[in-house]
Amino acid sequence: MAEKTVLSVAIDGPGGAGKSTVAKAAAKELGLIYVDTGALYRAVGVNALRNKLDTKDEKAIKKMLKTTNVELKYIDGVQHVFLNDEDVSTEIRTPDASMAASDVSAIQIVRDFLFDTQRNIAKKNNCIMDGRDIATVVLPDAQVKIFLTASAEVRAQRRFLELQQKGSTDTYEKVLEELKQRDYQDSHREIAPLKPAEDSIIVDTSEMPLDESIRTVVNLIKEKM
Ligand code: DC
């Protein structure tokens, strides 16, 4: 019997490009599972913060991983991330958790630790997976590879409004500064830096309203389905 082919869609790009919103909507429309891999790095980052560790200290993080368990579970079709059996899906969304995630994600042992979790989901499910190295490292054989991006200013503005809705008092300038710092870190690290794969399609959403971004991505996926 012919082996069933699983559909994998990789969406990479910098923070605030709208990856999760676009990927989530596209997954819903096309009946695919949405996998947000940043949540895994965020959970490791949160664990380091909770343990008051230096998030760039490789030795300390390596030791911490021995007692760290990170899992993704789907509850009513929505992804939740569990850190040592505790649902930390809300706690991982703070600006501190963003920076901690970016720090720990530059450590090879952290990437190795999370690799199988990502691969195993994609092996068993038709999915859209978003992150930084999905097309280049995690799913190099994905049938669709998209690099979703936008200017730093546009991304900062979107993130600023999102944080404001959550009650944050951070200024736009602070949000922009942190975003640029994270961009730099994520794209200049030695291991699995943020970059498009050679065969990624670049989608720049700087001038696109959300529904147009979703439509563009859905159409690119439909061409391969
Ligand atoms: O997508 P996000 O903003 O939730 O990701 C948080 C951090 O995790 C990001 O700054 C870099 C890291 N990350 C990564 O290195 N590789 C991935 N596949 C996903 C996220």
The 10s digit of each residue's pLDDT in 151-173 is 999 999 999 999 999 999 999 99
Q: Using most ligand atoms within 8 A of CB, pick from 37, 70, 107 the residue to mutate for ligand 1.
A: 37
Whether residue 101 has pLDDT greater than 60: yes
Q: Tell me how far apart the alpha carbons of residues 59 and 195 are, in angstroms, rounded to a whole number.
A: 27
Of 108, 87, 107, which Cα lies nearest the Cα of 39? 87
Q: What are phi and psi of 88, to 5 degrees?
A: -110, 20
pLDDT in tens, 182-201: 999 999 999 999 999 999 99
Whether residue 3 has pLDDT greater than 80: no
Whether residue 124 has pLDDT greater than 60: yes
pLDDT computed for residue 225 by the predictor: 86
pLDDT band, residue 4 (cuts 50/70/90): low
Q: Residue 23 C-alpha to ligand 1 middle, in angstroms?
A: 15
Run of H or E including 12: strand 8-12
Ligand 1 atom index nearest CA of 16: 3
Q: Residue 182 C-alpha to ligand 1 middle, in angstroms?
A: 9
Whether residue 144 has pLDDT greater than 80: yes
- Checking 192-196 for CB contacts under 8 A at 24+ apart, the result is 192/111, 192/132, 192/133, 192/136, 192/137, 193/132, 193/133, 194/12, 194/13, 194/14, 194/132, 194/133, 195/136, 196/12, 196/135, 196/145, 196/147
Tell me the CA distances in angstroms from 64 to 41, 168, 175, one per residue in order. 14, 30, 29
Q: Residue 191 C-alpha to ligand 1 middle, in angstroms?
A: 13
Q: Against a cut of 0.85, is the pTM above it? A: yes
Ligand 1 atom index nearest CA of 15: 3
pLDDT computed for residue 213 by the predictor: 97
Residues with CB under 6 A from ligand 1: 15, 37-38, 41-42, 98, 101-102, 105, 131-134, 182, 186
Average pLDDT over residues 53-78: 96
